[in-house]
Amino acid sequence: MKFIRDDKLISLNDLKDLEKLIESSLSKDYKQHMLSYNGGYMYSERSKVYSYEEEYVNFGRFFDLEKVKKMFNRKHDFLKNSFLTIGTVVGGYIAIGYNQNNFGEIHIYHSDGNPKKIANSFTEFIENLEEEDEYL
């Protein structure tokens, strides 16, 4: 999948600063994406969706580094020491796990509930995004 970068590129040192902030490392695949796109979105006339457990979510975008930091600093209690908010789906957010029990996993959440695992890795999530009309 091709992403469009809409902010300046970041460095490995910028990512190390984020890892210091969260007091943990991040998965290699997510870091590589951030170094290439610093967040980003996918331009398409059709929405990109991710299906899981007979459901699907519409992908919005991945946040740039500054937005990821802002989201971390104001995160909900249910995200503490476990999840970093990295983007949006329609009606909710995408988070990546960074502790020993959920490292690299992709979850979605809404402000009123607990994160729900939808992919084992950032790469799995990206590789399984599809055009929306395949579900209509």
Tokens of 36: 């290439």
Over 60: is that where the pLDDT of 126 sits?
yes
Average pLDDT taken over every residue of the chain? 89
Q: Any idea where the domains of the chain sit in the sequence?
A: 12-131
* Model pTM above 0.75: yes
pLDDT for the residue numbered 64: 97
Q: Considering the domain 12-131 in this protein, what is its CATH number?
A: 3.40.1580.10
Structure tokens at 119: 């992919």
Indicate whether 34 pLDDT > 60: yes
Instruction: Express each pLDDT in 75-102 by its tens digit.
Output: 777 787 899 999 999 999 999 999 999 9
More confident residue, 134 or 112: 112
Are the C-beta atoms of 80 and 73 separated by less than 8 Å? no
What strand order describes the sheet that includes 83-89?
116-119, 106-109, 92-97, 83-89, 55-62, 48-52, 129-131
